[in-house]
Amino acid sequence: MSADPVRVPPHDGEAEKCVLGAALTNPDALAVAVDRLDEDDFYTAAHRLVFRALKALYQRSEGVDFHVVRSWLRDQGLLESAGGMEFLLSLDDYSAAAPNIEKHASIVRDKALLRRVISAATKVQSEAYKQQRPVAEIIETAEQEIYSISLGSGHTEPSELKDIVAQVLEEQVRTPEELEES
């Protein structure tokens, strides 16, 4: 029986860079990004910090460019953690993504939702293996977790929730026979 390979959570680093590069160079793209995304939607820590800066500057109605963002990050003591000025300038390569900001933001958001589903499924799986709570409570917790995630995705229909839960549980729970095969 071999160990499970390390699973990398769903993410799309290129889409994240497209969102950041577009938002740094285009005020309309910045407005879309701030409206559609949260800091935690970004998988990469440096990307989360750059987005935090963009959002803070946007909320204060300040103009945004590479140097303003660098100054904000430096003032917060976050510039190096965000990749430094070299990383910020590299995002200019993604500025052409501005016309497709909605698509890139959607990709980033979808990957974040998948990570949240995996986290919820892992929590429910852990509770099920412990067998310390009544089954009905565990099922209710699973429903609440998935429903909470679905509220953030715009999908709240029970049939969609059922499908999501089934898919995640299918991926998370392996039978003893499957474990022997791996």
Residue 57 shares a structural domain with residue 34: yes
With respect to residue 182, please indicate whether it lies within any of the assigned structural domains: no
As a whole-number percent, the residues of the chain with pLDDT over 90 amount to: 62
Asked whether 150 and 161 are in contact (CB, 8 A), the reply is yes
Residue 128 shares a structural domain with residue 113: yes
pLDDT in tens, 67-123: 999 999 999 999 999 999 999 999 999 999 999 999 999 999 999 999 999 999 989
With respect to residue 75, please indicate whether it lies within any of the assigned structural domains: yes
Of the candidates 72, 88, 104, which is a domain's last residue?
Answer: 104
Structure tokens at 43: 């998988």
Residue 81 shares a structural domain with residue 120: no
pTM: predicted TM-score of the whole model, two decimal places: 0.77
Categorize the per-residue pLDDT at 166 as very low, low, confident or very high, splitting at 50, 70 and 90: low
Residue 130 shares a structural domain with residue 96: no
In 10 A of CB 141, how many CB atoms? 16
Per the structure, the count of domains in the chain is 2
Supply the CATH number for residue 94's domain: 1.10.860.10
Of the candidates 69, 104, 139, which is a domain's last residue?
Answer: 104
HSE of 129, CA atoms in CB hemisphere, 13 A: 11
Whole domain around residue 122: which residue ranges?
Answer: 109-173
C-alpha separations of 2 from 55, 84, 181 in Å: 45, 41, 9
Residue 98 shares a structural domain with residue 118: no
Residue 123 shares a structural domain with residue 81: no
Handedness of CA 77, 80, 52, 92 (dihedral sign): positive
Categorize the per-residue pLDDT at 162 as very low, low, confident or very high, splitting at 50, 70 and 90: low
